[in-house]
Amino acid sequence: MVVQQRPAAARGFDPDEGGSRGEDLAHLASDIAAGQWSARAGIGSAEPHSGHDEPAGRFARSAAELARQELFRGLPEAQIAQLAAQVRWRWVDPGEAVLDYGDLSTDVFLVEDGSLRVLVRTPAGQEVFLSDVFAGELFGELAAIRGTPRSANVTALHRSRLCVIPATVFLTTILKSPDAALRLMRILTDRIRTQSDRLVELTVLPVRHRLYAELLRLSRRRGSGGERVISPPPPHHVIAARIGARREPVSRELSELSRQAMIQTSRRAIVVLRPEVLQAAIEAKLHGRDN
């Protein structure tokens, strides 16, 4: 089993994309803001999201940002511009809750910048940590698809900028584009695979190797070398909760990894210096080659 490691901290943008497509999107978005959508797009008027009273320049920026997001890449310009007219953008501060378990809201959130943590809090106050969400990723799509209450809490780790997409707008956009629908299916299947990997790890791996797997899963590539980084670093009790262990053995294993120069730890980050060694140890344990 190869642990699915997080890619480089992608912002969901393509720096090479621009030129005439970006200019056309800007013109379309400006027309929407001026109430001229039907004249230019020829598909009927589309009112902006309630409270979304940004000037035309911001509509143009919104359209360009959405066009560069991986999920919406390749959508027709008119569809991107219509989407831009119906979303809103929101800044959240570190520690600010975006969603609570059981909420009846159905908006979908696309992270343009920053990072957030997804977890479940039980009525008894216990926390089960599920994942972290980074720039270019989305959350909240389950409630939009199923129409059910929120299944987790989402809280900002860093100051983050979010694109808030109403459920009906999100579903309409996805269903109109086979490419976007396929990308969404891949996102969901990747999450299922991650949960399957976690179940296998919890069942057959000891704490040490579950810790290795979680460090790889949480980390992102840093620079052109092989090192990976987790920032901000989760507290030891958080890591322990994620792998179904107690804090004390997790702290001991992290100290041992530091002593072996496998990781470097600070208040700002955990740097995985030799991720290939951790991956090899996991594979060896799974295949019964570990002594």
Amino acid at 36: Q
Query: Which tens digit of pLDDT belongs to each residue from 276-285?
Result: 999 999 999 9
Looking at residue 172, its amino acid is T
Rounded mean pLDDT, 99-118: 94
Q: Average per-residue pLDDT in the chain?
A: 82
pLDDT in tens, 240-270: 988 989 999 999 999 999 999 999 999 999 9
Domains 89-165 and 205-286 share a fold: no
Q: What percent of the chain has pLDDT over 90?
A: 60
Please say if the pLDDT value at position 125 is more than 80. Answer: no
pLDDT band (50, 70, 90) for residue 46: very low
Residue 18 has pLDDT above 50, yes or no: no
- What amino acid occupies position 222? R
Tell me how far CA of residue 196 lies from CA of 73, 202, 250, 283, in angstroms.
29, 10, 22, 16
Work out the percent of the chain whose per-residue pLDDT is above 70: 80
CATH 3.40.640.10 fits 89-165, yes or no: no
Taking 90 as the threshold, does the pLDDT of residue 90 lie above it? yes
Q: State the amino acid at position 225 in one-letter form.
A: G
Closest CA to 102 of 129, 117, 121: 121
Q: How far apart are CA 133 and CA 158, in angstroms?
A: 11
Average pLDDT over residues 81-95: 94
> What residue ranges do the domains of the chain occupy?
19-87+167-188, 89-165, 205-286
Type of residue numbered 261: A
Answer for the pair 67, 17: CB distance below 8 angstroms, yes or no: yes
- How confident is the model over 155-214, as pLDDT tens digits? 999 999 999 999 999 999 999 999 999 999 999 999 999 889 888 999 999 999 999 999
Q: Which residue has the higher pLDDT, 52 or 107?
A: 107
pLDDT digits (tens, 9 = 90+) for 19-45: 444 455 445 444 444 444 433 333 333
pLDDT at 141 over 70: yes
Residue 146, pLDDT score? 94
pLDDT band at 291 (very low <50, low <70, confident <90, very high): low
pTM of the model: 0.71
Q: Which residues contact 102 (CB under 8 A, 6 or more apart)?
A: 149, 150
Q: Average pLDDT in the 228-245 region?
A: 90
Does 139 or 129 have the greater pLDDT score? 139
pLDDT score at 242: 86
Beta bridge partners of 99: 154
What does the angle CA 234 – CA 237 – CA 241 come to, to the nearest 5 degrees?
Answer: 95
Architecture of domain 205-286: Orthogonal Bundle (1.10)
List the single range of 46-55, 100-109, 148-157 with lowest mean pLDDT: 46-55
